[in-house]
């Protein structure tokens, strides 16, 4: 385990039965409140983008993907694409529905924010079932972008998230069994 992964593990809090019975929610707010660790996570994700040969945009999924992705885009001096829950963006939009461990949802994006051929890094806090990440990747590709990689703070390895992402490049700071 890397030093960054160890620091993250110490700061992520487990909340049982949230948002539904049987779900163990991973609360990252203590990590976000720790400036040096949060800064190190942002820099790690920026390095993922640099190793990918550079990116044009960072995409983050509502809501914690906004928190993780926007500072990465800022650190790289590039734009950020918010991937929103259904009904939160004015049109025209593109949407994709998916299942998660406690229900189903739809995400949407403004396709005009993604230029054809734009290289996009997808950033989020947790890779669980992979539905949100797969739907987001699909939306970016349908809009004409190229997903050069996905970066997550935490992966729940007991869920099938990784298998939902095909052969896309994946970076995870901390894996939890």
pLDDT, one tens digit per residue, over 133-147 is: 999 999 999 999 999
Segment among 15-19, 71-75, 80-84 with least mean pLDDT: 15-19
pLDDT, one tens digit per residue, over 11-59 is: 999 999 998 898 889 999 999 999 999 999 999 999 999 999 989 999 9
**Catalytic site residue from 6, 10, 43, 101:** 101
Q: Is 62 a catalytic residue?
A: no
pLDDT average, residue stretch 95-115: 88
Tokens of 54: 């550079």
**Catalytic site residue from 7, 64, 119, 162:** 64
Instruction: Report the sign of the C-alpha dihedral through residues 108, 84, 71, 12, in that order.
Output: negative
CA 110 to CA 59: how far, in whole Å? 11
Burial call 58-91: b when 16+ CB within 10 Å, e when fewer: bbbbbebbbbbbbbbbebbebbbbbbbeeeebee
Q: Is 101 a catalytic residue?
A: yes
CATH topology of domain 3-176: Rossmann fold (3.40.50)
Structural domain boundaries of the chain?
A: 3-176
Average pLDDT, the chain: 95
């Amino acid at each position: 385990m890397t030093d960054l992964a160890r620091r993250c593990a110490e700061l992520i809090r487990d909340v049982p039965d949230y948002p539904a019975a049987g779900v163990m929610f991973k609360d990252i707010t203590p990590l976000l409140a720790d400036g040096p660790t949060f800064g190190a996570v942002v820099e790690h994700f920026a390095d993922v983008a640099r190793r990918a040969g550079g990116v044009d945009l960072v995409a983050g999924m509502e809501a914690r993907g906004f928190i993780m992705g926007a500072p990465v885009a800022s650190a790289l001096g590039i734009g950020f694409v918010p991937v929103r829950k259904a009904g939160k963006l004015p049109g025209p939009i593109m949407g994709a529905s998916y299942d998660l461990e406690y229900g189903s949802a739809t995400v949407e994006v403004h396709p005009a924010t993604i230029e054809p051929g734009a290289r996009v890094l997808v950033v989020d806090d947790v890779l669980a079932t992979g539905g949100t990440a797969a739907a987001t990747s699909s939306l970016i590709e349908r809009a004409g972008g190229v997903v050069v990689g996905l970066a997550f703070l935490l992966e729940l390895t007991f869920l099938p998230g990784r298998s939902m992402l095909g052969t896309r490049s994946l970076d995870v700071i901390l894996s939890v069994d």
